[in-house]
């Protein structure tokens, strides 16, 4: 299959590589010449604009930082819609707000194209390994059409419902994630301050009603889970600034439908504090630093 791929960042580049590995012909565009060269070295065809990348292909995939970039890539004079043939589906794997998805889908529909939201989870590790989860919003037929392409890059391809629901699923999952991580951070820090061994506390929570991914897989207290970012100084993982972006999408979406998100809004402030403290690139589980005293002595806590 001939595929146009636009946006070769930390996520997009390994995703495009997996398309090549699966035998697809891939035309790529990115503002970074270095990023493009890496893909060209692997067999991709470099393009000078989104328009060119979208021309003469059977599918277009975009993986961009925010809705503003998607808008521009779609509708600029040298954008996707200027080059794409009628009927070719556009898959957007960026994480953006559901309202923008609807606007882009209408825009694409007027050009005779379907616009399918397909944000991912799984991080850069999943992107490299081809084990991403894709949360797909769009019609049943559009879903069936793009599923084989996504299968070259991911393990779970989930149809979430109509246009925009892929983004809704991602935003809502990450809303729970941001809250539960901060909640685990509070509980682990409180336990430490009250004198219980964090490993013991972690083990109890992980076999009880408090168990969650933030505790049993990504526990924010160093030493509790050996493979978690907390046990390697919060390097790697899912960055605080990315969590902050997703909580921003969640609270904005909530505002748009007048839906209160008390804990989500508060969690957002906690990660924002971390970011303003210069910790935006640490794994988001570093939010526990807001709770633990420096020495971690357990003798009384302390937020910073």
Residues 1-40 that bind its own copies (CB under 8 A): none
| Binding to its own copies in span 251-280, by CB under 8 A | 251, 253-255, 257-270, 272-273, 275-278, 280
| Binding to its own copies in span 125-164, by CB under 8 A | 133, 135, 156, 158, 160-162, 164
Catalytic residue list contains 170? yes
Query: Which one of the listed residues 27, 51, 170, 289 is annotated catalytic?
Result: 170
Q: Which two tokens mark 242?
A: 């990315």
Q: Which of 193, 108, 124, 122 is nearest to 156 (CA)?
A: 122
Do residues 296 and 230 touch, judged by C-beta distance below 8 A? no
Do residues 222 and 230 touch, judged by C-beta distance below 8 A? yes
**Cβ-based nearer residue to its own copies, 50 or 123:** 123
**Cβ-based nearer residue to its own copies, 33 or 109:** 109
Count of residues of this chain found to bind its own copies when the rule CB under 8 A is applied: 87
64 is an interface residue for its own copies by CB under 8 A = no
172 is an interface residue for its own copies by CB under 8 A = yes
Question: What CA–CA distance (Å, rounded) separates 124 from 132?
Answer: 9
Q: Which two tokens mark 259?
A: 């839906």
Question: What CA–CA distance (Å, rounded) separates 51 from 292?
Answer: 51
Task: Out of 49, 113, 180, 219, name the contact with its own copies by CB under 8 A.
Answer: 180
Q: Which two tokens mark 31?
A: 């503002």
300 is an interface residue for its own copies by CB under 8 A = yes
Q: Give, in order, the Cα–Cα distances in Å from 287 to each of 38, 180, 223, 251, 257.
A: 35, 11, 16, 19, 28
Task: Out of 78, 82, 183, 296, name the contact with its own copies by CB under 8 A.
Answer: 183
Task: Out of 9, 236, 296, 302, name the contact with its own copies by CB under 8 A.
Answer: 302
118 is an interface residue for its own copies by CB under 8 A = no
Show the site string, 212-251: x = touches its own copies by CB under 8 A, - = not.
xxxx--x-------------------------x---x-xx
Q: Which two tokens mark 278?
A: 């210069």
CA angle 103/124/55 to nearest 5° reads 45
- Positions annotated as catalytic residues are 170
């Amino acid at each position: 299959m001939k595929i146009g791929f636009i946006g070769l960042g930390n996520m997009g580049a390994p995703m495009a590589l997996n398309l090549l590995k699966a035998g697809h012909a891939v035309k790529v565009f990115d503002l970074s010449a270095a990023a493009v060269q890496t893909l060209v070295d692997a067999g991709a065809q470099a393009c000078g604009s989104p328009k060119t990348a979208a021309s003469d292909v059977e599918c277009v995939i975009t993986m961009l930082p925010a809705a503003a970039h998607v808008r521009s890539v779609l509708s600029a004079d040298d954008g996707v819609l200027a080059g794409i043939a009628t009927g070719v589906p556009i898959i957007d794997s960026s994480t953006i707000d559901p309202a923008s998805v609807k606007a882009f889908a209408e825009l694409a529909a007027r050009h005779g194209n379907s616009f399918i939201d397909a944000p991912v989870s799984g991080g850069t590790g999943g992107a490299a390994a081809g084990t991403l989860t894709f949360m797909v919003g769009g019609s049943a037929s559009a879903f069936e059409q793009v599923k084989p392409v996504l299968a070259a890059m991911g393990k779970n391809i989930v149809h979430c419902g109509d246009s925009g629901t892929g983004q809704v699923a991602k935003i809502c999952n990450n809303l729970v994630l941001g809250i539960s991580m901060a909640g685990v951070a509070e509980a682990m820090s409180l336990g430490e301050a009250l004198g219980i061994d964090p490993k013991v506390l972690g083990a109890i929570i992980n076999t009880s009603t408090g168990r969650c991914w933030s505790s049993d897989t990504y526990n924010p207290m160093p030493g509790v889970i050996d493979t978690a970012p907390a046990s390697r100084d919060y390097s790697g993982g899912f960055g605080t600034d990315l969590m902050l972006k997703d909580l921003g999408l969640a609270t904005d979406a909530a505002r748009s439908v007048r839906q209160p998100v008390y804990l989500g809004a508060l969690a957002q402030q906690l990660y924002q504090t971390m970011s303003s403290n210069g910790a935006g690139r640490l794994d988001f589980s570093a939010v526990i630093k807001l709770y633990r005293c420096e020495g971690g002595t357990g003798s009384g806590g302390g937020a910073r």
